[in-house]
Structure 1
Amino acid sequence: MPARRRPPAGSRTELPPLKILRKIFLLQAAYYVCAAVLILFTTVVYGAPFSLDLIFGWDSLRGDTTIGWMLGLVWMLNCFISVIFLLLFVSRSKLIPDFALTIHFLHLIATTLYTHSLPTNLLWWGLQFASAAMMTFLGMWACQRRELEPIKFGGHGGSTQAGPSQASDDGQQESTFGRGRGRERSMQEYEMDDMKHTGEHAV
């Protein structure tokens, strides 16, 4: 029976499909909740009515109106905040591009289904590409920074490091003490031999 090949790292065995779907759902929900809060705050400050068209619609992002530019800035701010969600839920730099592009792809599907038409606004498309690129770059940078942090252990490092040196010091002391005892013993034997020779000459 041929031996089974071990699946490569990063495959489905390492990140199961159900776990991937759960992460996608959490990221998408956090993306829309954060966008809704930011857009609601912007409309309250600006004095404009809030509606789902500002979230799922594409015709509100226009370059000839103030609310259109404000929405563009809000979506870019939402992109920066979503990097934190990527860092919390994904936390692996090589998976960041997949999840970041999935978020924007699902947003495209939701916008198309909500408006019953494919977005034709160039500002909307430019905003999506800029948001996806920024989210991917910042997410990978943040995850790599966390991956490269040194691993910190508890306070037992000093005692573990001191163990071998202390053992070597004890060994050196014991060997020195042994050599000293041997040297002292040889001196006593030498003195006893001298006393014996002196006694024989006297007799």
Structure 2
Amino acid sequence: MFYGAMVWDPWLILSQIVCLQCLYYVTLGLFMFILVGTRVSRMSLIYFFDYSTLTISTVTGWCVIGSFLLSALAGAFYVFHLVERAKKCLDFAATLYIVHLFICIIYGGWPSSITWWVVSGTGLAVMVFLGEWLCMRREQSEIPLTRYRSNV
């Protein structure tokens, strides 16, 4: 993709948001299965969307917190590959967490736990800063010219 002229393509933006959201939840489900699934008798959506499961008073709560933070770490790589621009990382990561907040409100009510807000804020920060760092490294890398030179 050329980065010169920016063309506003709402379908591309919407598909990137949907793809990022889906990848985030698939990764969250994988980490929940590995970390939380071994500790509970039955996995449920309550671990994804209910703020009361994010607690520091139980080992299962710490596993849920770890799942969310590891998913944010993976989300940075998803942003790096899907968005490819450092200046768009904040927009897409914030959109992901705002959509997650709306789903949590619908599922379990307004998150009144400070732990939920700290974990979500930390996950957002990790996704944004690591995604921007990865994108900036790609944007600032040298363009290899050896393959374009003719053998004269």
**TM-score between the two structures when normalised by the length of structure 1:** 0.69
Asked which structure has the greater RCO (Cα within 8 Å, sep 6+), the reply is 2
- Over the aligned positions, Cα root-mean-square deviation in angstroms equals 1.8
The CA deviation string for residues 25-81 of structure 1, in whole angstroms up to 9 with x for no partner, is 000010111101110122333244211100111111112111111111111111111
* 1:80 lines up with 2:44 in the alignment: no
Kindly indicate whether the alpha-carbon contact (under 8 Å) linking 1:43 and 1:49 is maintained by their aligned counterparts in 2: no
Aligned-pair CA distance for 1:133: 1.0
1:44 matched residue in structure 2: 37
2-side partners of 1:59 and 1:20: how far apart? 32
2:50 matched residue in structure 1: 57
1:192 matched residue in structure 2: none
2-side partners of 1:100 and 1:77: how far apart? 14
Secondary structure of 1:59's aligned partner: helix
Higher share of residues assigned helix: 1
1:123 matched residue in structure 2: 115
1:167 matched residue in structure 2: none
Change over 3 Å in CA distance of 1:158–1:87 after alignment to 2: same
**TM-score between the two structures when normalised by the length of structure 2:** 0.91
Deviates more, 1:47-56 or 1:148-157: 148-157
1:29 matched residue in structure 2: 22
Unaligned stretches of 5+ in structure 1? Answer: 1-7, 164-203
Change over 3 Å in CA distance of 1:52–1:156 after alignment to 2: closer
2-side partners of 1:150 and 1:15: how far apart? 27
1:151 matched residue in structure 2: 143
Q: Percent identity, aligned pairs only?
A: 28
1-side partners of 2:40 and 2:13: how far apart? 40
Kindly indicate whether the alpha-carbon contact (under 8 Å) linking 1:96 and 1:140 is maintained by their aligned counterparts in 2: yes
Kindly indicate whether the alpha-carbon contact (under 8 Å) linking 2:36 and 2:63 is maintained by their aligned counterparts in 1: no
State the one-letter code of the partner of 1:55.
F
2-side partners of 1:41 and 1:123: how far apart? 22
Q: How is 1:1-203 mapped onto 2 (pairs within 5 angstroms)?
A: 10=6, 14-115=7-108, 117-157=109-149, 159=151, 163=152
Kindly indicate whether the alpha-carbon contact (under 8 Å) linking 2:36 and 2:64 is maintained by their aligned counterparts in 1: no
Kindly indicate whether the alpha-carbon contact (under 8 Å) linking 1:100 and 1:136 is maintained by their aligned counterparts in 2: yes
Unaligned stretches of 5+ in structure 2? Answer: none
> How many residue pairs end up in the alignment?
149
Secondary structure of 2:136's aligned partner: helix
1-side partners of 2:59 and 2:92: how far apart? 31
Secondary structure of 1:123's aligned partner: helix
Q: Rg larger in 1 or in 2?
A: 1
